[in-house]
Amino acid sequence: MRSNRRSRGALTMSAAEPATLSSTVAPTAVSQAAHDVARRRHSTLGVVCAATALLLFNVTAPIVALPSVAADLRLSFTSQQWVLSSYALVLASLLLAGGALGDRFGRRRLFLAGLSVFAVGSAVAALAGSGAVVIVGRSVQGIGAAAIFPAGLALVAVEFDGASRARAIGIWGATVSAAIALGPLGGGVLVEALSWRASFLVGLVLAVPTAATAARHVRESRAPDAPALDIAGTVALTAAMFLSVFALLEGNQRGWSSALVVGAALGAAAAFAVFVVVEHRVAQPLIAPALMRNRTFAVATLVALVFAACAFGPLAFITQLLIRVLHGSPITAGAELLPYAAASFAVSLLAARVAARVGVRATLAGGLLLCAGGLVAMRGVDPHGSWTHLIAGLVVWGAGSGLVNPTMTVAALAVVPPRQSGMASGVNNAARQLGIAAGIAAFGALVQSRTTAAISAGKPFAAAYVHGVDAMLLVAGAIAAAGALTVVALIRTR
């Protein structure tokens, strides 16, 4: 009996002990778990923002480095354009495919692979001994960026939810604006303090610790029902983009009526037609036909392309004007572009409030008109004068860019079903990158042809280059104004 009582007592004691332990340990465990979640979230957001800043720094920083690259490697004007546009072109071509691969095989895995490829491309460009090798390095960077960009944003979206997700994406968006804004100045500092090679080598230096942090602190995620990659659509779209930009870049050098340029233009049209047919026939298209038929989405995508062309294309040739005509140093040129960068960054923070008050359509149209006004206002620089002639135009142009940049994504996403928001966002981002590549190519062709014609007419290089830039600014302003009219006529946000 005693033994039974003792046994029952022992059982009672052992049953009570877990309750006592649970009351003392559980709060600590819960607190530790919450701390671990918060730390993982902060680490994920930090590495994604760092990687995104690196990608966008490589859009604008090489613009300031380009004169030094051209002088050192003896690049032709067309080769200089390829150095700038190859990165954006490859990124635009593979961006949608990158998002699909991340959903299917793991976003963290693709993010890490993208950082590795980006680091290799950065090293190739930094160590290049010829223009062709720099272009190859930039293209490899673009492949890495096409994996990093969609995978990184998806990792943030998965890690956060509710109001915290909105704040996290807001921080990511501010990082995008800051990286673009500070790219020219940062590139100028690197070129002047070290060399043009440093503006590319920074990609390797920063990608390695970012990848190490991501490998340690970011968790894997994938979409369990992710579709297979639309290989035929990806190939057709990539071919259409590449051939279009190739024709624009090579037209001046080879002749617009040359067989190669005409063939590239016809090939681009044929590839795009094939892409449309393929997307209507495959089960899991790269771009859903329903999006193609959505007029407002199509116009918003066109606005993204036009805006990127008019916001970033002229920047390359204004920078060349500051360095080659007004004889500024790379760091001085970067500092002189700060009015544009500061205005763009500041206004982008207010764009959501403006759109909420006056509407998306009015915000987009107003921003594009400001871009047009700022571009035209910068015409007429005195080759022997001061860069201060550009200040007012830079501020107005930057303010317009700050209004349009975040709002055009809102316009694109507002008219598509939630299930297609990821695809719609990818299309919008791809259109931006294609716009950068096409803008550099098209406006570069215009600057080159007008400059060459002015030199042939007897003008010195400085005056001839100003003549070419003036023509480019006028055309870019007209395109931005036409974009505003298109928005007013066709954009519907319901």
CATH topology identical between 30-230 and 287-494: yes
Reported residue count of the chain is: 494
Q: Is 252's pLDDT higher than 80? A: no
Distances (CA, A) of 264 to 88, 271, 274: 19, 10, 15
Q: What is the pLDDT of residues 331-356, one digit of tens each?
A: 888 888 888 888 888 887 788 788 88
Give me the residue spans of the domains in the chain: 30-230, 287-494
Q: What's this model's pTM, rounded to 2 decimal places?
A: 0.76
On the question of pLDDT at 13 being above 70, the answer is no
When mean pLDDT is compared over 44-48, 96-100, 318-322, the highest value belongs to 318-322
Q: Is pLDDT of 17 > 50?
A: no
> What single letter denotes the amino acid at residue 335?
A
**Where is average pLDDT lowest: 73-82, 282-291, 407-416?**
407-416
Distance between CA atoms of residues 489 and 124, nearest Å:
47
Q: Mind listing the pLDDT tens digit for each residue in 103-132?
A: 777 788 888 999 899 999 999 999 988 888
Query: Has residue 369 got a pLDDT over 90?
Result: yes
Q: Considering only residues 371 and 412, tell me which one the structure prediction assigns the higher pLDDT.
A: 371
Which whole number is the average pLDDT over 138-156? 84
C-alpha closest to that of 209 among 88, 54, 105, 35: 54
Give the pLDDT confidence score for residue 379 in this predicted structure.
Answer: 92
pLDDT at 359 over 60: yes
Helix axes 107-126, 196-217, angle to 10 degrees: 160
Confidence check: pLDDT of 265 > 60: yes
pLDDT at 27 (0 to 100): 61
Phi, psi (deg, nearest 5) at residue 102? -65, -40
Alpha carbon distances (Å) from 341 to 136, 234, 479: 29, 34, 21
Share of the chain above pLDDT 70, in %: 84
pLDDT of residue 107: 82
Task: Name the helix (H) or strand (E) containing 88.
Answer: helix 77-105
- What is the average pLDDT across 394-416? 79
**What does the pLDDT average to over 322-328?**
82
Question: Mean pLDDT highest for which of 179-188, 215-224, 295-304, 447-456?
Answer: 447-456
- Per CATH, the architecture of 30-230 is what? Up-down Bundle (1.20)
Which of the given ranges, 5-14, 122-131, 143-152, has the highest pLDDT on average?
122-131
Choice between 57 and 479, residue whose per-residue pLDDT is larger: 479
Counting Cβ atoms within 10 Å, is residue 259 exposed (0-12), middle (13-18) or buried (19+)?
A: exposed
389 burial (CB, 10 Å; 0-12 / 13-18 / 19+) is middle
pLDDT tens digits, one per residue of 158-202 = 777 666 666 776 677 667 767 776 777 888 888 888 888 988 888
With tokens 């809102």, the residue in question is 410
Distance, in Å, from the CA atom of 342 to the CA atom of 485, rounded to the nearest integer, reads: 27
Q: What is the mean pLDDT of residues 448-456?
A: 87
Higher pLDDT, 35 or 411: 411
Superfamily of domain 287-494: MFS general substrate transporter like domains (1.20.1250.20)
- How many Cα atoms within 13 Å fall on the side-chain side of residue 265? 12
